Amino acid sequence: MKPPSANHPVPIQFHDALFPQPGISVSQFLGFNFPSQDPGASTAPPFPFFARKAPIVVSTSDLQLLRTLPIPSQSTIDALSNYLTTLVTDEPVSIVYAHLPIDNAFHSVNFPSWVIPYWLWISRLRRHVVLPWQRAEQWLANSLSYTGHRDLVADARSILHHLPWTGTTWAFSDPKPITSLTRYLSSNWFGTTHIDQQLDLLRHRLTRKSPIHEFEILPTHFIRLLLELHQDYQTNYTGNQRFRHIWARGEELSAPKCQQMRIGGVVNVNGNHWVAVVVDLRSSTILYGDSLNLSDSIVVPTLSWWTQFHTGHQFSTAVLPIGTQSDNVSCGVFALGALIHHFFPELVIVGQCTIRMERLHSFCATGQLELDAVSYCHHNPGYLLIFLSSDLILTSRFLRSM
């Protein structure tokens, strides 16, 4: 998203009164009183909002007023923001709340031009942060009606009382906006971000349990690139620098110290389905798990080619135990569950009836690791300065990323 106009910034001395502060938690953020917004999709013409008149000198009471006055629709604000950036004049310019009824006492109050960037910030915060977290809160509330979920809901809400509402994740290999965590508390499809976060968690868990040469958890981009390599670049595999790290990882397959290794991953096939795979070097077997039990003509042949290229012998194939999916969105949860069950067989394999619980577990584990990472930054000088410097600009960084 475009940042608010540099020529008409909201004065920094007004930020504390007008915006939720970067350091507050998700729960505190949801308690912030945002102005209501016109939900309409139509775009009002910009001219009625602009006046050739000196604006008022904004006081503390005016700031409180801005917190309560409704703001225009998103499309109108976008049009006004674009118009403001092209406006060139030496005459005074002020902004009026032209979208309010004409008999409203504040319909014709002349505010400074930075009111439009203020509307822009508030509108997009409402759409990109408030709404996703409100939906997550509602999903949590609905989860209370499921037997055995109450403690997990309590844990999730505790995390929301401490998790910062803005910025990017610190604990995971691929930093993403904190709002990406709302996907766990929903019935939405897991994206690459969420699969990789859960693979990071599994890797951390295995590190505490198993010798380092007995496991490897591959990120999604590694297998995605391996599939591309198998399809289009087999002939110049060894000489292509783009695949150098894949070749180096493949060479480890035949190393004596890695012969007890199991390599796990989650793969996206056809752009719309997640499956789980394990390359077991102990038995020279490739295990493939698909919660929809669809036929595979891509993943196993790719892994068979790759393992044979580096070890010189053919791996057998087998089914990776996995639950049966009966909806259209939970394949990622099933694939992760199958992978976790393979490495921790004492855990019950994911089934359709436990999907909501698995999502709650995933959110709680992800949120807690993130909180631990933020706490670590606060208590270690090497990371503290980076955290504090980022914290001062989190709101503007967030807005620029949308």
Sheet architecture: strand order including 285-289: 215-217, 262-269, 273-280, 285-289, 316-319
Closest to 331 in 3D by CA, of 365, 292, 303, 360: 292
Closest to 89 in 3D by CA, of 127, 51, 123, 58: 51
The whole-angstrom separation of Cα 311 and Cα 277 is: 18
Closest to 361 in 3D by CA, of 137, 204, 149: 149
Task: Name the β-bridge partners of 94.
Answer: 51
Task: Name the β-bridge partners of 177.
Answer: 168
What per-residue confidence (pLDDT) applies to 402? 39
How is the chain split into domains, by residue range?
A: 12-142, 144-384
From the centroid of its chain, how far is CA 340?
Answer: 22
> Is 76 buried (19+), middle (13-18) or exposed (0-12) by CB count in 10 A?
buried
Which amino acid, one-letter code, is at 207? T
Q: How many CA atoms lie within 13 A of 121 on its CB side?
A: 22
For the chain, the distance separating the N- and C-terminal CA atoms, rounded to the nearest angstrom, is 4
Tens of pLDDT along the chain (402 residues) come to 333 444 678 999 999 999 999 889 999 999 999 999 998 888 889 999 999 899 999 999 999 999 999 999 999 999 999 888 887 766 678 999 999 999 998 998 999 999 999 999 999 999 999 999 999 999 999 999 999 999 999 999 999 999 999 999 989 988 999 999 999 999 999 999 999 999 999 999 999 988 988 999 999 999 999 999 999 888 889 888 999 999 999 999 989 999 999 999 999 999 999 999 999 999 999 999 999 999 999 999 999 999 999 999 899 999 999 999 999 999 999 999 999 999 999 999 999 999 999 999 999 999 999 998 877 655 554 443 333 333 333 333 333 333
Helix, strand, or coil (residue 101): coil
Q: 112 and 95 in contact (C-beta within 8 Å)?
A: yes
The whole-angstrom separation of Cα 98 and Cα 80 is: 12
Q: How many CA atoms lie within 13 A of 116 on its CB side?
A: 28
Q: What is the DSSP string of 325-359?
A: P-SSS-HHHHHHHHHHHHH-TTSPPP-GGGHHHHH
The whole-angstrom separation of Cα 115 and Cα 49 is: 11
The whole-angstrom separation of Cα 96 and Cα 71 is: 11
Give the other-Cβ count within 10 Å of 105's Cβ: 7
Give me the long-range contacts of 199-202 (CB less than 8 A, separation at least 24): 199/265, 199/266, 199/336, 199/339, 200/171, 200/172, 200/173, 201/365, 201/366, 201/369, 202/264, 202/336, 202/339, 202/340, 202/343
The DSSP letter of residue 7 is: T
What per-residue confidence (pLDDT) applies to 90? 61
Task: Give, in degrees to the nearest 5, the angle at Cα 201 between 195 and 202.
Answer: 90
Give me the long-range contacts of 292-296 (CB less than 8 A, separation at least 24): 292/325, 292/331, 293/324, 296/269
Q: 111 and 56 in contact (C-beta within 8 Å)?
A: yes
Domain 144-384 top-level CATH class: alpha beta
Burial 308-324 (b: 16+ CB within 10 A, else e): ebbeeeebeeeebebbe
The whole-angstrom separation of Cα 395 and Cα 117 is: 13
